[in-house]
Structure formats: C-alpha cells, structure tokens
A and B are shown apart, each in its own frame.
Chain A
Amino acid sequence: MAEKLPASLEKLNTEEYLLNMGPQHPSTHGVLRIILKLDGEVIKDVVPVMGYIHRGMEKMFENRKYDQIIPFTDRTDYLSAVNNNFAYVIGVEKLLGVVVPERAEYLRVILAELNRIMSHLLWLSAYGMDVGAFTPLLYIFREREEIIAMFELITGNRLTHNAFRLGGFKYDVPKTFFEKLEKFISHFADNLDEYETLLINNVIFKSRTVGVGVITKALALSYGVSGPSLRGSDIKMDVRRDTPYSAYSKFVFEIPTGKNGDTWDRCEVRMNEMRQSLSILQQAMQGFPQGDIMAKIPKIIKPPAGEVYTAVEGPRGEVGFYIISDGTEKPYRVKMRVPSFSNLSALKDMTVGFKIADVVAIMGSLDLVIPEIDR
C-alpha cells in the first residue's frame, strides 16, 4: 500500500494466529498434525508434524525373515495392502532370481487393480466427507464392500490381506471369484458415472476445487510427488508403464492426466484411473491362463548378497522397496519409499494463500494415509 494510513487506523493491531489441526481432527485422516498460521481464514504458513504412529517398521524388517516381512508391509498403507506386498515381493524375487508363473502374475495384477479401485473408492467417499457431502460415502461403500468380499474369498481377510507369497500364491483362486468379478465389472462403470455426476461434476464441488492447490510440473517433480497427484499436473509418469513389472506389459491401458495440477484435476485423474483399472481387470480376466500358481522356491529363503530397488504403482503413487541382502535369512536393510511421504512434503507450496476449507480439500486430494508416512 503506497499511501500512508491515518494514525487512527495504523493503531489497529491485527494478529495472525496459530491453529492446530490435529492430531485428532476429522479431516486429517489419521493422526497427522498440521500447524496453520492464519490471517483470518487465509493460510500464511503450514507445518505438518508427524510421527505419532511411528512403529519403526524398517528396524522391524531387519529382524524378520524375508517371508515374515510380507504381513508387515500390509500395515503401512492399509488401503493398498496388495500393492505394498507387490513391491516387496518382486524385489525379493529379483534377488532370488525366481520366475513367477504366468497365472500367478495375472492374479497379482487382478488383485492389485482391484485394490487400486478399492483404495480410490475409499478416497472418493472420504473426499466427499471432506468437502461436506455425506451421502456419496454410503453409495460408494456398496461397491467397496463387493471388492472386499472378493478379497475375503481369495485371501481370507478384508483389509490386511497378506495376499502374496514369495514365488506366487499359496492357494489358487476359488471358482466363485470370477463370477463375482464379472458381476462387479458389469455394473461398476455405470455407478462410477453416477458418482461423478453426484460429486465431481457438482457446481459447488467444482467451485471448491478448480484452481485450488495448484502445483506446477517442475515443483511436483522436484518434490517427488508421484501417482495421481503428479499426473494431475500433466506428467504422464506411471511405474506400470515406465518400468513394467509383473504382467503389466501385456495389458493395454491409458494413463489419465490432468491439465492444471489443481485439486479438481487430481480428482478427475483418480476417477479416470478407476475406469482404466476396470479395463485392465477385464483384459486380465479374459486372458487368465492355466497352470501353476506357485514357483519353486527354496524352503529357507537366503537371497545372495546384493541390493535391489523395486517400485510399483500404488494407488497413491510409487511404492518402492530398497532391499539390501547380505546373504543371510534376514535382510540387512530395507528402506520403504512411500508415496504419501513425498506427496505430503509438497503441501506447503500448495496451500499457502488459500483458506482453511481449502486445506481440507487439498489434503483430501493428495489422498494421504498416515501410517504409511510414519511407517
């Protein structure tokens, strides 16, 4: 402001104040704490504080045998347990030099894509809650329940499946699974369109998300943002396409991207991703091969000394495992590369200048899972 204000106005002392969002807050999706510096309703600064559920996973891995680690990976990102298993399992298999039978590869892809849809559905419902629409949650949970039932059929658990084993699967698929999958595929696309009309294309929703939380291409790359959050910024990066793992090179699918890198783009990318997952599911179901479900692997797993980094495309982004083996039964060091960790680190550059309600919308669009960040 160029001109000098009158003395009576200058005395007016406005204060910025700190607002503690979390660790117990309905929309931080877990025990994440965010310290907001507010000027009225406008955000001046954001500092995420975390570690409230740090369990020392990486230390635990060093004291477990290779096959015992798999159930622990479920518990980092509990919404995409299969994708975490996937990243770890293909890493150890690479170290061992095991070739997984094709049937197991296909089943892995099916489970991973189902898991992705399940996770995105939960994101969509929770995001609806974040922006104040309660009703979509209950519609979406119907579909999610169907997927969970399928997982229960194959693995026996609903959320932390412990689905994969080194070398494939312990048990083959039950017959009823494909009937259920077919039924799910037949109606899911229609329901997805309905949710898009109900929530994503709603004018209130659009006004809350378009142009909010913009992150540029260069900044997103530099922050290591991955997954749909990165693709929202018009970067066609997808581990499934860039470094194909398992059977992904056999399927035809597109990588949806956004244009502006704002919150609405990230939402739209996720919606389109579910459609792509559906098409992968269809392809995998049609081409599902016969044969073994488990490769021959040694009874005691002792990979040769060496190190490997394997990553898969999880629902939230790149899930990676950096495994160092020293030739014993237990890994020397396991580092988890978790997508939410990097995604959250970009929060400050997205939120400053927006309002409290936008913080909730932006965090929701990043699809954070806190146990994954803390590990």
Chain B
Amino acid sequence: MTAFMQFLKDLLYDSGKAFGLIYDGGHKIWAGFNLPPLTLDIIFLLIAAACAAAFIAINALFIIWFERKISARMQLRRGPNRVGIFGIFQTVADTIKLLIKEDITPKAVDKLAFFLGPLLVMTSTFMVFLVMPFGKGLIAADLNIGVIYILAVTGLTVLGLLCAGWGSNNKYSLIGGMRSAAQIVSYEIPNVLVMLTIVLLSGSMKLGDIIAAQPTVGYVWMQPVAFIIFLIASNAEINRGPFDLPEAESELVSGFITEYSGMKFAFFFLAEYTNLFIAGALGAVLFLGGWTGPVLPPFMWFMIKSYFVVFLLMWIRWTFPRIRVDHLMEFAWKVLIPIALLNLVVTAFVIKFH
C-alpha cells in the first residue's frame, strides 16, 4: 500500500521516477511475450504523442476561454457565461461548431499550399512539446540542444503562414503572409540573443539544466531587460497584438486566414493559442525557474508560471493599438537588437570577471 502511495507521490512530485517504473515494468512484461522491445518503445512514444496532443487540445480550449475572460474583465464586459459554469465550455461549443461547418476550398486557390499551410503551422507548434519540461522528469526528450531545437522548430511556422498566404490566391492574404515572414524572421534575432544570454548564464542549452541552474527566484531578477525583450519578441513571433500585423483585421481583413473556414481555420486558431502557451512556457522555463517551487507539484508550478506570462501577454494585447509595419521592423533592428546585444555583452563580461 505504501509502495502505491509512494508511486502516486512520485507521479506528482518526481514524475521521471514514476515513469521509469512504468517503463521498466512494461518492458519486463513485454519480454515475457517474447516480442521485440522496439515495438513497445514505439507504443510508448505514440502514447506520449497522444498525451501531448490531448494536452494541446485541452490547454487551447482553456487558454481561449481564459483570454476571453481576461479581455472581458479589462473591457468591463462579462465574457462567455452561457455554456457551462462561467462559460467554461464555450470553447467546446465553438469547436463543435467549427467541426461541423463546411470546409470551403475556393476554386482559385493553390490546393497543395492551401492545404499545407495549416498543417505546417500546426506541426511546428506540436513539435515544440518534445522538449517542454512540464515537471521534474515530465519531459518527452531533454535534448542537449533544447534551446536551439525550439528556435529551429518555431521558425518553421513561417513556412506555413507563407503557404497559407500564397496559396489563398487573395491579395490581402498575400500581404499578410509576406508581413508575417518579415516579422517572424526579424524578431527571431532578438529572441536568439536573449536566449543566448540565458545559455551563457546557465552554461547549458538543455532546458532541464537551465531550470536546475536557476536560483529559486529565477533569472528574471538578474536579467529584467532580457525578460522584457523576450516578452516583446516572442509576442511578435506569435503574431499577437500589438504585433498582429499579418492578420490585422482593420487593414487586411484577416490576413492569411481570410479564405480559411471550418477545421483549417480551427487549426490556425489552435496553433495561435498553443503558440501563446509555448511563449508563456518558455518565459517560465528561461526566466521564472520552470517547474521549481514549494509545496505544489512541479507540474502545477509550471502551469502557474506559464499562465502568468500568458496573462502578461494578454494584458499587453488588450491595451495597445497595432504597430505599423515599417515601425515594426525599425523597432526590431534599431531598438531591440542593439539592446539585446548590449545586454549579452554586459552579461558575458560580468560572468567572465565575476
């Protein structure tokens, strides 16, 4: 009995250990059936992927509801409050509506690009979850190039957006796609520089090590400037206000998603909000100490910190007007990158001579 309790406790507080037990036990039983162990590994991987997919879906449902509630509170509204208690199932209802909607493919679109757009966007967001440390040991694969992997994978989103913009055969969409390409490529650079500072401080690119190297309060106190730059740059990279130029609805109607409907539209929506969560999670991992924290299970701490960053991003989005496209570029190249570089150099010097 106590062993079981211990197992449950491990599952919450030291998930790596608990999963190791399951993994070993599974393999022992599997070996009894005389089957090759590789198949079991694949099955385990598929289960993990399914878990990640389920997490993305549920988390997106929640985060959309959260955003709608937060924006409503800021705007003196009530937000969704009809479906379920506090309207928590509003997103579920919306999703069902999107699923049963007709999936329109306009005649003049480039079918391959049109189809590939949402798929690529979704895939690239999905892939980030491979290295996301949800808790102690609760990580699919703690790659030793974690940070670079994240940067590389999120950069893929551009391809999807460009595909969508080009394939839609719509002038608004094309402008939206082009804008997003320029924007994401530019804002990748300050983001890289900021992450580089963190890597310098922790001495590792492995996300697990970065979390372990942080003091309990996180790097945010040592690197406030870097944190702000990270917030701005990642906000721009996930195309959210005030940097929502690619889908600026007052200028480009909806940018690259103008022609999409039904499930493909839902994919973009899902990707946008998952990206928002990823930005929040990265902020939590790099600056707020990841899953470390007292009393509560590591997973809870991770979610709380992530949602705190997400809340900051939402707060920014619902306060500011949209920036203009040339100012956006100027801001990245003339303000963010110099400051990020300066910050990097100063950090390097301090580390060297401390």
Contact = CB atoms under 8 A, between A and B. Distances in A.
Interface in A335-375: 355-360
A17 B170 CA distance: 12
A129 B76 contact: no
Interface string B242-255: 10110011111100
B319 interface: yes
Nearest to B179: A41
A207 B327 contact: yes
Interface residues of B, number: 28
A12 interface: no
A194 to B, nearest CB: 13
Interface in A128-142: 128-135, 137-139, 142
Contact of A204 (B74, B172, B321, B326): B321
Contacts, number: 79
Contacts of B318: 134-135
Nearest to B242: A204
A357 B248 CA distance: 9
A202 interface: yes
Interface in A1-22: 17, 19
| Centre residue among B321, B322, B325, B327 by max chain A CB count within 10 A | B321
B322 A138 contact: no
A357 B325 contact: yes
Contacts of B77: 138
B250 A131 contact: yes
B320 A139 contact: no
A26 B76 contact: no
A27 interface: yes
A206 B324 CA distance: 11
22 contacts: A25-B253, A41-B325, A130-B250, A131-B322, A133-B320, A134-B75, A135-B74, A135-B319, A139-B75, A198-B319, A204-B242, A204-B321, A204-B327, A207-B324, A208-B321, A208-B322, A208-B323, A208-B327, A356-B252, A357-B248, A357-B325, A360-B250
Interface of A: 17, 19, 25-27, 41, 128-135, 137-139, 142, 198-199, 202, 204-205, 207-208, 355-360
A-B CB proximity, top 8 nearest: A132-B322, A133-B321, A138-B75, A131-B321, A27-B250, A132-B321, A357-B324, A205-B321
Interface of B: 71, 74-77, 171-172, 175, 241-242, 244-245, 248-253, 318-327
